[in-house]
Amino acid sequence: MAVRPLIGITTQTLHSIDGIPEGLPPSWMMSDRYIVAVADAGGAPVMIPLLDLDEASLRAVYDRLDGLMIPGGVDMDPHTFGEERSVHLGRTDIARDAVELTLIRWALVDKKPLLGLCRGSQVINVAMGGSLYQDIEAEYPRAIKHDYFPTAGYSRDHLAHPIEIRPGSRLGEILERRDLNVNSMHHQGVKRLAPGLVASATAPDGLIEGLESSNGHFMVGVQWHPEALVDYVHGMRQLFSRFVDAARGK
């Protein structure tokens, strides 16, 4: 039996999520959809604890990984890209910001395969020196609607808008198409694209929906949630399988 590559998936502080009542014990969590998508693609998924104050232990976990996936979640704190908080900012998770930025920067040095989903794509951009819109509607005048949240009555697999994929990009080669419709559950987005990244997909309003490394490193970020679309949209399952293959060394 082939050895499955070990894929680290970052977690989130439970109390950073809207609606979580006070009094619950401090916990780290992550949706099982991300974990199942990696397992179905042939990886061995493991959840990474938010050891922001214990770099030695975090590094010991990281060193055992063959690939790193950064999933969706709450807003990034704008201090990570040199801005003050906007009144439109949602909840943040300082420990998660610190851990994910550290892990991504290690992965950049080691060229460890890296996949970022929604928030994860934004964290990649910030880790490499880019910035974000803290609230797209407030800061990007020609924006279409991007915040189709389940809390507002939309399903997680609701196909909200089309995207256009750049010809010749790694993302285009993986998905085998030039355009598709995607779900959309975010109100932050890439503002200044970091050096070393190229935009591989855009929404109709020009907002970046996909990014990837310019140097051949398997580092792909998408602004949508492919883990919710693997059974419905062509190419979404392939995104996970190609990431796992890269972690396997193929």
Q: Indicate which residues carry an active-site annotation.
A: 118, 225, 227
- Looking up tokens 């200044």 gives 192
Which residues contact residue 137 at a Cβ distance below 8 angstroms, ignoring those fewer than 6 apart?
A: 88, 143, 145, 147, 187
3-class secondary structure, 13: strand
Which amino acid is located at 242 in the chain?
Answer: R
DSSP annotation string for 212-241:
EESSS--EEEESS-GGGTTTTSTTHHHHHH
Of the candidates 34, 37, 29, 38, the residue with the CA atom closest to the CA atom of residue 6? 38
3-class secondary structure, 174: helix
Answer whether 202's CB lies under 8 Å from 184's CB.
no
Question: What gap in Å lies between CA 157 and CA 179, rounded to an integer?
Answer: 17
